[in-house]
Amino acid sequence: MPSRRQVLAAGSLTLSILAGCTDDGTQTPSERQHDSTETRPRTTTRPTVTETGPTETDAGEADDEPASWGPSWSLAPDIGALEALVRHDGVLYGLFNDTESGSTVARIDPANERLAWQRELDGVAAEPFLTRENTSEQSDVTVVDGTVYAVTRARADYEWTALHALDAETGSHSWSVQRERKMALVGVTDGTVVAAGEEFFENDSLHSAPEEPLRTVCYGLDSETGSVRWTRDFTGVDAATAHAGGVAVGNTDGVTRLDAAGGRQWTVSMPAPLEIVTFGDAVVLRTETIDSYRLRAFDADRTERWSRDHDVDNLLVGDGQLYGLGHETVALDTDGTVAWQVDVRSLQTLVGPNGETLYARSGRPSLGQVDAYALPSGDRRFRYDSPAGYVRPIAATDGTVVLEAYAPDPRGFMTLYAVDATSGEQLGVYWTDDSIHTAVSLGDSGYVGIGDRLLAFDSPA
């Protein structure tokens, strides 16, 4: 069966197609639809479409019988479903989750095709409640400064959630912080681990959403011991990020910057930020306007560096450019100027190795396409037209991009396509009946968590 993320993606697509307008006839930003070929007047630099590879209509067209493709090696350690992967310093770290026995963090050594260590944690894997910077996966495992962080929760709902810290080299347990609320890692700054804890909301048949914004506590934790250095209370927190020397928290009052010691430096009133990212030495916030979204960049001293309106649903920080993805695709430089822009819907993006290509799920009406944009120019290298109605990029090497597709087939419920990273030509296909949970690239291989296995895929010969 499809994974949770696939169900959510399919559900959001269905809603976007079915959603018309609000009761008063006006459309909200999330409900609006633009034609992918619409050109709106803007004074911007527009990228070109290259003619060296397949065109929109022939890229990705497969032969009657596509070439079979399979993993070069795999691991099945029998410790639960592999739900999250992250690469760091040439190795992989994975979070395995078993709803009965609990969760396990493991260090994976690809060179020797083995687990270097594994550490069981109390509870089962928990999803972060905050918008996580620079990831669409909402990853449950993070590595910062030689420490692996993971979040777990009690098997029963509304009991507790815990943030754990492990030594990345040895797997030894450094500390855990447990609270009777949802917990999430915000980031690490100046030796302080910043976490957020939102009070539980027990929804029932009468109340599917809280009547008032929920209370959230921001914790400043000692990175060595996990002891609490400071706490700050907020309500209605949806986004936060830790960056050099400070923390930015977005809530119903606007955005507040704290220093690494938890001191409140300033607050700017605005509609509740939906997303906050660190871009260069500034923080960029995405807020909702009447008919679009506004991006605002602030320096550490509260100076507003720039502000722009763009119809984008999420942000992705690249190497020197900020990408806005949604009803349009736009790249911004650090001063807020538009580097390039196309009126094509994009979502579920991935930046390839060395930051040379942006891959994005795109197109209409089924979103069964993936565009590849050369960076930093934004010229489109190719558009891959999937045989499936749902497809997204999940991993990329220098030569190959791996696409995940929901394409029911007698040979498997889920599909992985290997596509040439330069031309968009389909090189191979792998079918599976298991859920595809997570993926990451490292070197010349793509690593995919399928069911309870780690599968390593090399570029097809």
pLDDT in tens, 323-368: 999 999 999 999 999 999 999 888 888 999 888 999 999 876 566 8
CA–centroid distance for 267 within its chain: 27
Among 130-134, 148-152, 274-278, 346-350, the minimum mean pLDDT is found in 130-134
Read off the pTM. 0.83
State mean pLDDT over 412-428: 91
State mean pLDDT over 295-319: 94
3-state helix, strand, coil in the chain (%, to 5): 5, 50, 45
* Residue 273 amino acid letter: P
* Nearest of 435, 440, 436 to residue 456 by alpha carbon: 440
158-184 pLDDT, tens digit per residue, is 899 999 999 999 999 999 999 999 999
Residues sharing a CB contact under 8 Å with residue 251, sequence separation 6 or more, in sequence order: 213, 216, 234, 235, 236, 237, 238, 272, 273
Q: Is 48 helix (H, G, I), strand (E, B) or coil?
A: coil
Q: What is the pLDDT of residue 386?
A: 83
Query: What is the distance between the alpha carbons of residues 369 and 383, in angstroms, rounded to a whole number?
Result: 7
Q: What is the pLDDT of residue 205?
A: 58
In contact, 102 and 79? CB cutoff 8 Å:
no
State mean pLDDT over 372-393: 90
C-alpha distances out from residue 338 to 127, 293, 320, Å: 34, 16, 12
Query: What is the distance between the alpha carbons of residues 212 and 109, in angstroms, rounded to a whole number?
Result: 47
Pairing of strands 141-144, 124-125: unpaired
∠ CA 61-354-308, nearest 5°, is: 85
| Percent residues over pLDDT 90 in the chain | 64
Helix ranges restricted to H, 312-366: none
* Average pLDDT across the chain, whole number: 83
Higher per-residue pLDDT: 382 or 411 = 382
* Residue 345 amino acid letter: R
10-49 pLDDT, tens digit per residue, is 443 333 333 333 333 334 443 343 333 333 333 344 555 4
User: Is the pLDDT score of 4 beyond 80?
Assistant: no
CATH H-level, domain 4-36+46-180+274-458: superfamily: YVTN repeat-like/Quinoprotein amine dehydrogenase (2.130.10.10)
State mean pLDDT over 288-295: 93
> Look-up: residue for tokens 């594994």?
118
Predicted confidence band at 211 (pLDDT cuts at 50, 70, 90)? confident
State mean pLDDT over 176-198: 94
Q: What is the pLDDT of residue 24?
A: 37
For the chain, give every domain's residue range.
4-36+46-180+274-458
Q: What is the pLDDT of residue 365?
A: 53
Q: What is the pLDDT of residue 100?
A: 85
Residues sharing a CB contact under 8 Å with residue 336, sequence separation 6 or more, in sequence order: 295, 297, 305, 306, 307, 308
* Burial state string for 51-72 with b = 16 or more CB within 10 A and e = fewer than 16: eebbebeebbeeeeebeebebe
Higher per-residue pLDDT: 110 or 135 = 110
* Nearest of 210, 155, 165, 161 to residue 182 by alpha carbon: 161
- DSSP 8-state symbol, 85: E
Q: Is 301 exposed, middle or buried (0-12, 13-18, 19+ CB in 10 A)?
A: exposed
Query: What is the distance between the alpha carbons of residues 247 and 269, in angstroms, rounded to a whole number?
Result: 16
Q: What radius of gyration, in Å, describes the C-alpha atoms of the chain? A: 22
Predicted confidence band at 461 (pLDDT cuts at 50, 70, 90)? low
Query: What is the distance between the alpha carbons of residues 366 and 80, in angstroms, rounded to a whole number?
Result: 33
Q: What is the pLDDT of residue 135?
A: 56
